[in-house]
């Protein structure tokens, strides 16, 4: 047992986690609960973005700051970070939290809380150690996402400059930087980090109830699906752009009995923006199905029912939790090279098809759906279990233990 008191801070709740960042933070929190004397996670978040799935200890924004976040889908984390010091009510709540809990270690999940927190730290009568839990090198990714979504250039540059300055400062001041890839670790050293631990993204074990399995059996029968490829993701812009670039709406490359099923907000977004006048896109109505956000059991059931898992990732940094999920699922996989960041040793799996040209990617989807279900050799299947969270987060635990 690590005899320390850890406070984890993020800009999103984790109680109902179903997407990348929150799932990673939930996994870290669950690991700490087993190995650390006291751990508390506090999310500072917008109720507009997370109306449910939060804990009593989380801080939901109020007033003008809450109003400002209603439509700030791609820079809300930045506004929250600033608000920690600039919004009087939020500043007092965070300061009260720090003074009452008196953590030995503050773990900052992604850099954004640090934008305001760094000023509050100077007011404390104690000096907690800092862990920078870095999911990506954030400032270039923030620039990329805001550019993708046509954010005003002057505002975009100002936001990115603030994020970069805070990220470089936190990287230098942190007693430990935790990264998801070795490449990110080397970049953190170049930014002045004292040391880093690589705790790559992982996944919880996949299991589905009989009820969930039967649900998808009936769904497949109702929609006359013989075999399905699935793409699971949030409405995070790299997911949307990756699908459009690598697959697109024209589904003529698939026979009628084969479908692509979209799970998560990525599907809701893609289908709501389908161009009804695009002749090629007309096949999307017959081959492309969106099932929206799913409870974990139903999501696991869909993974079990799928024949092929798609990872059309072309943008962004860090590593992809959905890649770990695909690896451990033991299905056919069609992925881009970028989707395999930090999972490169799995590129030679017999069920892995890696293509970066859209035509080749689409052809690989069609080919995989014509193949028999994959059965991995025992030794290979055992190797895939190394992407489970317990294994992936061990270096992080050891790093925190040494502080």
Q: Which residues contact 349 (CB under 8 A, 6 or more apart)?
A: 327, 333, 376, 380, 384
pLDDT bin (cut points 50, 70, 90) of residue 318 is: low
pTM: 0.83
Taking the C-alpha atoms of residue 287 and residue 281, their distance in angstroms, rounded to an integer, is 10
| pLDDT, tens only, 383-401 | 999 999 999 999 999 999 9
Mean pLDDT score, 94-103: 97
| pLDDT, tens only, 218-242 | 999 999 999 999 999 888 888 899 9
pLDDT at 316: 66
Q: Which two tokens stand for residue 378?
A: 């025992």
The domain defined by 210-387 folds into Rossmann fold (3.40.50)
The domain defined by 2-202+389-401 folds into Rossmann fold (3.40.50)
- Is the confidence at residue 125, as pLDDT, over 90? yes
- Is the confidence at residue 150, as pLDDT, over 90? no
Q: Which residues contact 87 (CB under 8 A, 6 or more apart)?
A: 63, 64, 65
Mean model confidence pLDDT for the chain: 92
pLDDT at 276: 66
Mean pLDDT score, 62-74: 89
- Is the confidence at residue 84, as pLDDT, over 90? yes
pLDDT bin (cut points 50, 70, 90) of residue 281 is: confident
First to last CA, the chain: 14
Only one residue has tokens 């590129």, namely 347
91 in Cβ contact with 116 (< 8 Å): yes
Assign 330 to helix, strand or coil: coil
262 in Cβ contact with 244 (< 8 Å): no
Q: DSSP string of 220-270?
A: HHHTT-SEEEEEE--S-HHHHHHHHHHT-S--TTS-TTEEEEEESHHHHHH
| pLDDT, tens only, 367-378 | 999 999 999 999
pLDDT bin (cut points 50, 70, 90) of residue 300 is: very high
pLDDT at 188: 95
The proportion of the chain whose per-residue pLDDT surpasses 70, expressed as a percent, equals 98
Residue whose C-alpha is closest to residue 16's, from 50, 47, 48: 50
315 against 164, higher pLDDT: 164
pLDDT bin (cut points 50, 70, 90) of residue 317 is: low
Domains 2-202+389-401 and 210-387 share a fold: yes
Mean pLDDT score, 162-167: 97
**Where exactly are the structural domains of the chain?**
2-202+389-401, 210-387
| pLDDT, tens only, 329-369 | 999 999 999 999 889 999 999 999 999 999 999 999 999 99
pLDDT at 153: 93
| pLDDT, tens only, 7-60 | 999 999 998 777 778 889 999 999 999 999 999 999 999 988 888 888 999 999
Please report which helix (H) or strand (E) contains residue 75, including its range.
none
């Amino acid at each position: 047992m690590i005899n320390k008191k850890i406070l984890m801070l993020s800009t999103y709740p984790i109680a109902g986690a179903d997407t990348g960042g929150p799932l990673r933070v939930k996994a870290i929190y669950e690991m700490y609960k087993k190995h650390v004397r006291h751990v508390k996670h506090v999310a500072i978040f917008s109720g507009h973005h997370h109306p449910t799935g939060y804990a009593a200890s989380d801080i939901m924004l109020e007033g003008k700051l809450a109003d400002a976040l209603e439509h700030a889908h791609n820079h809300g984390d930045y506004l929250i970070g600033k608000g920690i010091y600039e919004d009087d009510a939020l500043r007092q709540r965070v300061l009260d939290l720090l003074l009452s809990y008196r953590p030995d270690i503050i773990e900052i999940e992604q850099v954004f809380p640090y934008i305001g927190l760094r000023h509050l730290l100077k007011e404390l009568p104690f000096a907690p150690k800092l862990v920078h839990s870095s999911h990506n090198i954030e400032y270039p990714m923030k620039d990329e996402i805001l550019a993708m979504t046509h954010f005003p250039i002057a505002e975009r540059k100002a936001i990115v400059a603030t994020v970069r300055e805070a990220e470089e400062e936190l990287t230098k001041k942190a007693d430990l930087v935790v990264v998801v890839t070795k490449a990110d670790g080397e970049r953190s050293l170049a930014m002045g980090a004292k040391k880093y631990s690589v705790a790559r993204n992982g996944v919880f074990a996949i299991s589905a109830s009989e009820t969930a399995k039967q649900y998808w059996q009936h769904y497949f029968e109702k929609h006359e699906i013989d075999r399905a490829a699935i793409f699971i993701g949030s409405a995070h812009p790299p997911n949307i752009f990756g699908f459009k670039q690598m697959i697109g709406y024209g589904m003529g490359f698939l026979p009628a009995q084969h479908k692509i099923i979209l799970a998560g907000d990525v599907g809701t977004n893609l289908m709501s923006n389908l161009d009804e006048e695009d002749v090629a896109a007309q096949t999307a109505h017959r081959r492309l199905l969106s099932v929206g956000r799913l409870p974990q059991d139903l999501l696991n059931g869909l993974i079990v029912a799928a024949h092929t898992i798609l990872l059309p990732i072309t943008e962004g940094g860090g590593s992809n939790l959905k890649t770990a999920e695909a690896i451990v699922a033991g299905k056919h996989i069609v992925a881009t090279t970028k989707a395999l960041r930090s999972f490169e040793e799995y590129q030679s799996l017999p069920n892995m098809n890696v293509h970066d040209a859209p035509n080749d990617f689409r052809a690989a989807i069609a080919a995989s759906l014509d193949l028999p279900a994959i059965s991995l050799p025992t030794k290979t299947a055992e190797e895939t279990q190394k992407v489970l969270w317990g294994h992936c987060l061990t270096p992080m635990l050891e790093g925190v233990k040494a502080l």
